[in-house]
């Protein structure tokens, strides 16, 4: 079995949307807190521009970096008995459930509330497996890394030696 991984570039649209939302939410909270405390509402922005502007940009860049799509290509898996069922078990064991399945493609979505929240935002927690002569697994880096580790180190994915 041969495994190859490709990592996609940043999703700039996701970065921009996340930055704008964080800017509005965090600065709105700062404005409201200053208003309730009796201070001039915009005084805090002049003193702590790091919290007001730099923090949302840094948080959005971390989120956009971690939300990149990763492709995992698996070739020469045919000698492994019931490879599809074993791979399905590994993916389901990583906190996912099947959203849709057919003969050529299976789609998995996250089950935890925290990851479902991010799945709603840009479908970042979705794993797609395309079945064929080459299995292509597409998803978020965290999940693909776990699947790759299972394919590499789990003994059930190793071909058994031929007994004569």
Q: What is the pLDDT of residues 28-73, one digit of tens each?
A: 888 888 788 887 766 666 667 777 788 899 999 998 888 888 999 9
Q: How does residue 94 score in pLDDT terms, banded at 50, 70 and 90?
A: confident
Instruction: Quote the pLDDT of residue 15.
Output: 92
Average pLDDT over residues 92-107: 90
pTM of the model: 0.74
Instruction: Quote the pLDDT of residue 22.
Output: 92
Q: How does residue 19 score in pLDDT terms, banded at 50, 70 and 90?
A: very high
Is 72 in contact with 3 (CB distance < 8 Å)? yes
**79: how many CB neighbours lie within 10 A of its CB?**
11
d(CA 148, CA 73): 10
d(CA 141, CA 83): 22
Task: For the domain covering 2-6+68-157, report its CATH number.
Answer: 3.30.160
d(CA 143, CA 111): 13
Instruction: Quote the pLDDT of residue 57.
Output: 93
d(CA 24, CA 28): 6
Q: What is the pLDDT of residues 142-163, one digit of tens each?
A: 889 889 998 888 887 776 554 4
> Over 60: is that where the pLDDT of 75 sits?
yes
**Hey, where are the domains in the chain?**
2-6+68-157, 9-65
């Amino acid at each position: 079995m041969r495994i190859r991984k490709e990592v996609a570039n940043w999703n700039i649209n996701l970065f921009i949307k996340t930055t704008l939302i964080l800017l509005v939410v965090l600065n709105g909270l700062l404005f409201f807190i200053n208003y309730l405390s009796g201070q001039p509402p915009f005084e805090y922005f002049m003193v702590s521009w790091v919290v007001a502007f730099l923090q949302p940009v840094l948080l959005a860049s971390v989120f956009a970096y971690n939300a990149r799509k990763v492709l995992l290509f698996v070739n020469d898996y045919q000698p492994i008995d019931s490879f599809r069922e074993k791979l399905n078990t590994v993916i389901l064991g990583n906190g996912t459930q099947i959203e849709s399945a057919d003969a050529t493609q299976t789609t998995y979505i996250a089950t935890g509330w925290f990851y479902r929240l991010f799945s709603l935002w840009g479908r970042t927690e979705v794993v797609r497996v395309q079945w064929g002569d080459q299995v292509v697994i597409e998803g978020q880096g965290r999940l693909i890394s776990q699947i790759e580790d299972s394919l590499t180190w789990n003994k059930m994915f190793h071909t058994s030696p031929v007994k004569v």
